[in-house]
Each structure stands twice: as C-alpha cells, then as structure tokens.
Structure 1
C-alpha cells in the first residue's frame, strides 16, 4: 500500500469518526432538546388539568359507595391536547372530543403506577405517533389508585423530522468523506510529488546515468523541503565521490599501463642480449673454439646492457615499493636532525653523480645549528631526487644548491638552467609516471621520483615552491618546519 493511499485512508478515517461523533452529538442534542420541551409543556398542561379534577361521592348498585371523577366540559374541547380521564373504580373513560371523533382510546398502563405516580410513554395509534403523559389519581389516606389522567399530543412531525435528520446527516457525512478523500488524495499526491522525484533520481543513479541532475523543489522549507535538500546534498557528495573513484580508476589503469611499459623496455633489452649471448656461445661450442676478440667484445657489451637494465628495473621496483608504502599509510620514523651536516653529506655525494652541468653549492652557513624533525634517509633521498633531475635535464649550464632560513622554516633551493617546463605542466609533475620533457623514453628515469619526493615532503609537514620557464630552467625550493635552533640556546 502506497504512502499516498495510507495518508488518504487515515485522513478519511479520522474525518469519518469526527463526523460520526458530531452527527450523533447533534442528533442527540436536538432530540433531547425538542422532546424535553414537549414533555415539559405536556406535563404543565396535564398538571393544570389535574388541578381541576372534581371528586364526587356516589353509590353504585354493584360496589356501593364510589368516588366519581369529573372535569369541566371545556377541558374536553381542547384541540391542541388529547385528554382522557379514566376512573378505575367505575371503569369509565371520559375523552376529549377529538378522541371521541376518531374513536381512539389511549392505552392505560396501570401496572406502572405501582412504581411511578406520573410518567411519559410513546404510543402509535391508528398510524399516529403520540406522546402521552400519565398522572395517577390516588386516595390520600391509603394511596389507592382511583383514576388516571392522560394528556397526549401528536409527535408524528417531530419523528419525521428526526428520521429525515438521520438521512441528511448520513448523506452529508458520506458526501463530505468522499469529497475529503478526493481532496486528500490530490493534496497527498501534490505533497508527495518530490518523493516521486527522489525515486526517479535514485533510479537514474542506479542505472549510472546523469549524476549531475538534482531534485527540483520550490515549495516551503517543510519536511519534504528539508528531505529534498538532504537528498540533493547527498547526490552532490555521491557525484564527487564517484568522480574521485572514476579518476582514481583511470589513474590506476594509467599507472598499470605506465608500469608495464617501464618494465617491458628493460625486460626486452635483457631478453635480446640473453638471446645474443646464447647464440654466440652456441656458435663457439659448435666450432670447438674459443670466441674471437670481436665476439668477446659483443658479449661484454651485452652483459653490461643486462646489468644496466637490471639496475633500472631494481630502481623502478624500489620506487614502486616506496609508493606502495605511501599508499598503505606507512609512517616513517622521525628524530631531531641537524640540517647542515646532512646537506653537506648530500652535496659531497652528489658531485660523483653523472652530470654535464657545473655543480655550485653556496650559502649553507645559514643552516648552522638548525634542527628538523625528520628521517635522515628519506630527506637524503628527497634531495637526491631533485639534484639528479637537475643534472638529467641540464645538458649544459649550471645546477646550483643553496639554503634559506626564516623564523619558522628551513629551505633548500635547487636551481638549474636546463630545459625547464611550461607553467601548465607544474601541477602534474608530481603525478606518477608523468614526464614533462617531450623526449620521454630518451631521458633515463621512471617518472616516479617526484611522486616519492612529494610524499616525503608531506610526511615531514613541509612544502615545495616551483618556478620554471621553458628553455630557461627550473627552481625548486623545499621548505621544512624548524624544530628549534642550536644557535639560540
């Protein structure tokens, strides 16, 4: 059963009960008020007539001394009220003219006078509804019933009125419930229309289409409005998460593709050189002689290629392992480090790296006594990544390293006069396997170094500034938060 139908049934049921209670209450009130008024008027008339009854003693041949009951003739000519006087001893009845005309006798219930002296009854005589007021006439000394005075009025029009009132109330109640149910169904449909839109939007999301669509609602900020806002907010978050997941999936596919490409190249070289060596040694065995100097030279070159490619694969695997640790939330151990000796060690070892540019180091004295909370091995790896990249992409010119210092930070600046980059490429250089130079595959490297560098910087709560210009070189400034300075102690 739908919510709309349940709301309509609840609304109609409550309205039906309300109308039923109202109708019953109105009917009972009108019935009580009308008949209470009739009974009061009839009782007043009866008591007035009762006060004019005359009691006369007489002698009967059968019973002896009897008491006669008489009224004035004018009482029996009343046209508004039926009157009947019954003498119990004589068993005689005196009636008003209208009762005599119709030949109708009012029923007398003597048994009720044993408990009541006066009472009302409703009787139906000759198809006419009558309200009868009965008053007992008693002998004062012994309380013996002498007679009964009855006054009655026709109540047919009142009974008909209340009967019609029942039909009218029932009809109006049914009509009102029907109209209210129709209106309630319409209002419920209008009020719950945003929920249908929510269902429609959810169905579109389930099918994976149109995540940018939102539920349109221009009604008041009621429960439906707040629900719509909540659903729209949830859809926005789902869209963001879906976009992030989609981007992560594309990045993963790109990562796997690039890793496969980087691994396939050295494997192809190793495989080719192994085949070459196998052929050369097979020829030597077939000819039962040692390889000539030319074959030995080719063999040596092949083994050198194998060793070089194996080292390249080892570096790639180590880089992938480092990034896997980063993705797994690896927390490196950090201790207070004095920066000047650490960087001097990096500078000393960097001068032995393959390079064609001039290597200039200056300004390290500003690091005197500075301390950084960090990991020695990872900071050295970080600096070597930037220095090696500077050497790699600077065929001629200068690679310069110097140090910077502020009140709260320590900086290491590495500048080169190499090929540089377009400014649009800067946001992407820290992505895995991204290579800014157009000679990808010609310049040695895996494209993972800067991704590892960015992870190391983030782990040390540092930051990096990049300034670059095409064909003019690049400047990288790595900032570390300073723990404290020995020079201030």
Structure 2
C-alpha cells in the first residue's frame, strides 16, 4: 500500500473519530437540554395536579378528579386512571384525538413518579407519571399521567441527526480527497528522488545526480545526502575500475611476456629429448657395461627432462588460459561466421580419441545436427568442446565418456556425458568461477580451475547457454545449447 494512501487513511480515521465525538456531543447536548426543560415543566405540573387530586378526593375517596379548568389546558395532555373503579378520565386534547396513554395496570408496581417516552398511534409523547396514594393506607389508588406532545422536538432531533450524519460523511469524503491530493503533493519530491535513483540503478551511470530545487527541508537534506553518497560511490567505483583495468593489463601483459620464455623452454626441452634419446639408445646398444652411477645419472636426466617438459606444458596451458580470460575481460569480440556443426564435431571426435585418458571414449549419435549451422568461431567452439571432454576424462578414472547431440526449439544441444566422480548440488553454482575446483578433486586431479570459466565465456559470446546435471558418484552431463543460425536441407 502506498505511503500517501496510508497517511490519508490515518488522517481520515482520526477525522472520523473527531467528527463522531463532536456530532455525538452536539446531539447529546441538544437532546438533554430539550428534554430537561420538558422534565421541569412536567414535574411541576404533575405535582400541582397531584395535590389538587388529593384535595378534591378527600370527601370522596372513591373518585379521583381535577378541576374542570385543568382538563382544558391545551399544552398538557392529562389522564387519570383509578385502580379502585378501573376507569379513567382524559383531558380534552386526548378525547378529541381519541388517544389513550398506556399505563401500568398493576397498582403494586407503581411506587414512585417517573418519566416515560412513548408513542401513541404514531404520536410521540413525553409523559410524567405520578402515583396517587390514599392518605390513610398509603396504597396506590390511582395514576396521574401528564404528557407533552414532542413531535416538533423529535422532528428537530431527527433533522439534526440527518444533518450531522450527512455533514460528517461529506466532510470525511472531502477530507479524504483533499488529504490524498495533499499527501501526493507532499510526497511528490520523494517520487522524484525514487525515479532518479531508479534511472541511476538501471543506467549504471554514477555521474547522474538527483535534481532538487525545493526548500532545504528534510527532503532537501535527504537529496543532498544521496547526491553526496553517489559522489563517493562514483569515486570509489572509478578507483576500483582503474585498479581492475590495471590488473587486467597486468595479466594480459604478463601472459604475453610469459609465452615467449615458455615457448623457448618447451622448444629446448623437446630438442634435448630428441638429442638424448638416440644417444641413450646408442649407449644402451654398446657391449661395454655401464656403471651403476652412470645409469642412475642417465635415468635422473630423463626424469628431469620429462618433469621440466610437463611443467612447461602446464605453465603454457595456464598462460594461454589467463590470456584468453584477459581478452574476455577486455571486451574481446570473436570473429564469427556461419559454421556447420556436424563436421566440426566429427573433427572433435577424431581428435578426442588421441587424448590421454583412462576412461573409454564412446562417441554417440550426432546425426541430429546434420545440416545444422551456427554463427560462431570454429576455433573457439573446438576449444569449448575439448574443455568439457578433457574435464570429463580427468574426473572419470573408469567408465566412459560420451558425446551426443540433439535439436530442440531452434537450439542445437551438444551433450558431454561421463560416469565419473560427479558433484554435489552445492558445488554447481560455483563451477564456472575462476580458479574454483571441487573439494573432492583437489589433490586428486591436476588443473587450474580456469577451463570452465573460459568455456562459459565462449558460450556467452555465441549467445548460448549451458545446463549441468550431476550427482556424487553418478557422473556429470553438460549440455551446451547454441542458437541455430541456418539449416542445410538434406540432398
């Protein structure tokens, strides 16, 4: 729920409470003021008439009567009920209108004077009832009822209720509408701040600032604070970006610089191996026995050259990987052209059979990609396939590795399956991170942890995606999806 609506509802709720209290107070004041005035008049009249009845009935206890002039009063409506004779008398107003006040027929229940508000044939009356008691026995022998017609007062109170309810509702609706408009106007600067912040977030341009030309109130101070924070973030980001650029240049330059000496080292080692191998074979073919010390020296020389050669090749792979990632970080754009996938994969299958491995190489069905082509770089796509295949051989000490293909919804799928070590679900989100290697494989297999990072970069550059299905001890399946650019109809 928006803040402006919450504020408006709070204001409206408070106003509604105030209006209810105020309206109720006004109505209660007028109601009690009106009826208190009538109470005084009725009580005074009732006491006078009660004394008159007692005086007129002294010599005739069986009758309860008033002076005739009392019955002719226009303002008051008088009724007397005699419990002894079970009859009553009414004033002229009641007789003319043919009205009869309701009364308590059980004399034992009428013990004290009281006020009663009632309606007789749709006419509202306010009645003061006075019990008439015999002077000798103090028993209730009759009931005097003096009433006033309160139709005008009730109409006035009804109109007052209508006016108060209607005005309260209209005032509440008006206050809600005005409050909503005012809250919107008051919070509009916050909307401006939010929109500017969203533009900065979406555009990733920290040079933008939030424009504010209003007063230096809380929102003005908030805008100044945000602009200051953006300035500090821009400086920090620029410093980090410069440091990152320097790091990328260093990695790229170091990779370039290291390739030359490593190439020289590998060339010299290969030359030494070629020179030593015939010499050692010739030495072995001589009839003269070789001393144990000489044999040990020759064996150590061969092992040293093999170790140097292996480490040089490993360093070359690492440098090449770092150079590839440095190019990726620098925004290197591959040269792409239309490529048919099936001939490329056939070449990969042929070369993969020559890789060192302990698992079996079982190429699967690739016919689904016959005539299917993508827009890409053939060299990088081969590198992509060999990264996954070499990884599969590396982590599959026994079993097999299979390469398959499928086609689905305009996407060419290349599956690399193995029956190797597998991975846990917690490791999958990290396998494409640089230098990440699963804990179970550290120390068991060699590698730098850069291959899958390069593979992910190649996939992204080709607009593709990759899926991973794995479980510990059950092997892993990588599915590389590449968008189909064209298809050649079969002849």
TM-score (norm 1): 0.49
TM-score (norm 2): 0.49
Q: Which structure is larger by alpha-carbon Rg, 1 or 2?
A: 1
